[in-house]
Structure 1
Amino acid sequence: MNAHTDPAPDSPLDAPAGTPPGRRPRVAVVFGGRSSEHGVSCVTAAGVLGAIDRDVWDVVPIGITPTGRWVLAGEDPKRWQIEAGELPQVEPDEGPGVVVPLEAGSTELTTLEPGRVPEALGAVDVVFPLLHGPFGEDGTIQGMLELADIRYVGSGVLASAASMDKHYMKVLLAGAGLPVGPYLVVSPRDWERRADEVRADVEELGYPVFVKPARAGSSIGISKVKSPEDLDAAIEEARRHDPKVVVEAMVTGREIECAVLESLDGGTPATSLPGEIRVVAGHDFYDFEAKYLDEGNVRLECPADLPDEVVHRVRDLAVRTFEAMGCEGLARVDFFVTPTNEVVVNEINTMPGFTPFSMYPRMWEQTGLSYPQLVDRLLRLALARPTGLR
């Protein structure tokens, strides 16, 4: 494997400045959250909690309930796995409440329990935010951590927010000269005041179309619409998750993904071998059920069976997309490869699904980086990043 494929080997871990001698760097694994992807985030946490090397890292698991309460959560990965087809959830009584610092330079966590004196939990050196969707993946928690100068895994405020919003993501990518498919945006005002014009615009785009919440993930709220009769219901379903909706023309092609990982030495980000998603039965597209609850009817293949020149094009566009959005740490870039081998960028995910069976870690596994190594690499990248403006 060449340098573009295989990230450089890890060097011995240096504790951050000010860390007491003999103390392992402390990582807060934050998961759950207020979005409709709460359960998916918990499943991701199960994978990461099981992979972190406890001889190297001191781990503090923090769950966020669906109402936004931060609690000290259980460390056992089994607590956060899917059971009998049910996604896990952080409960309000999961553990004592956690207070997060907002003052620059203060990294001390404090636990709160009714009737008890607040107790210092200790300083945190780095945060691994495993939140998917709004109120986490969209720059909100990143902004909170920036206020306190706390290092964290993944992209910063702007890259997180812009990548989460499919509208502005496409604007930025097109502005950088990257290929994106035809689409239109339906704002709340558009749908409330000029719905007939919206319907006409979609007709011009051409059926079938995909109707999506602009700021959601895990295929939640997405509908494939084959005729005008089904458009209104699809838009209303998307609006249940986000008042702004994106309508995309269907691009005929294979669904190809590529994982991007920032370089430890500041060089060009590394890319994995591309992977492919094949829905073999039971689903019209790669929806939420197919992703998380019906793996038997979905085939994830890596490396994807593509001509060498297409593989090179996918990986090059993955890096260009990562850099155009200003991403840091990690991202998964999703593409369509048409029957004529044209490559179109579909979207970028700054916190992709991260269970051991998700495409992002599986693509790195096939490229030579194991799941535990990948988790360790991301924490090292975060620990090395400067605080403040950069």
Structure 2
Amino acid sequence: METFENLVRAEFTPKQTFLNTASNGLLPARTVSAVQQAVRMRAEGTPLGPLYEDVEAARASFARLAGVPAERVATGASVAEYGGLIAAALPAGAEVLTAEGDFASLVNPFHMRGDLKVRAVPLERLAESVRPGTALVAVSAAQSADGRLADLPSVREAARAHGARTYVDASQSAGWLPMDADADDFLAAVGFKWLLGPHGASFFVAPPDFGGLAPLLAGWVAGERPWDSCYGPVEELAHSARRFDVSPALFTYAGLRASLELLEEIGVDVVHAHDVGLANRFRTGLAGLGHEPVPAPGSAIVSVPGLGHRQGELSRAGIQVSDRAGNLRAAFHLYNTPADVDRLLEVLAA
């Protein structure tokens, strides 16, 4: 069995110190090869059946990572499209509870309805803020801006006690933080961050009874027999969550299939320990420099107030991080090493 180090070394060859997975992940070598092969197939006129098989393989792989049957997973292009489906299913006047400053793709579809009551509270008060009349609690498992983790067990418990549903955006956690999608009503995640895929893919986990959602974006791929559903209304929607699919970006899913296979080979538990270990190394080093990050225990994302202005300087030094709301955001993933952490601390100390 290949070791973690050997697998990673064979797949990633970053030219810089890349600590910006919260923006987008690096592509493994196998993913680059898969995308190139998919492009060649289009250029050569080869039948594209294998690329549709890639979509199904990626669906099944994500389902295993999420801990649900593949029949509950839909594939799409963005988190916002699935938030839109959930928003459309809510009755007028329904209350949606969100965390202050959560990512726009999660919260904006509910604001766009115009007739929902969207209430935002501090993340740490989310569970206690669920009340009678709350219809849905929508929250990111890990906050994009600063890496803080939602207390999902407490949120779920509070939601169930008040008859509310939960909708989790795992875009900043899927791939390094173990998922338990079966514990939530809805879950969505993009594929281009911690899942290491190309841009243009997302996954959505729906309940077995579809949660009252209407497949408003349904085209031919949402049919039980897609190739018999190309003309006129779709006569029979897929019996699975595939009824919520949108026409797939085939090149993207060809690559994402390979990326997910790598994550499964390594194991998310192993990735989690590696990523959080590096983040904690950075937190310890920051303390030695007199800096205090936003408290986010257990997170692979570290956000440091007051240092965002140094992002440009760090970029020129070959270190890729983000400036988010004045904070310096560093995100640690499987291809990072202790040397990357030490290099970042060295430049910050200068």
Provide the TM-score with structure 1 as the length reference. Answer: 0.24
More helix by share: 2
**Relative contact order higher in (CA < 8 Å, ≥ 6 apart):** 2
Provide the TM-score with structure 2 as the length reference. Answer: 0.26
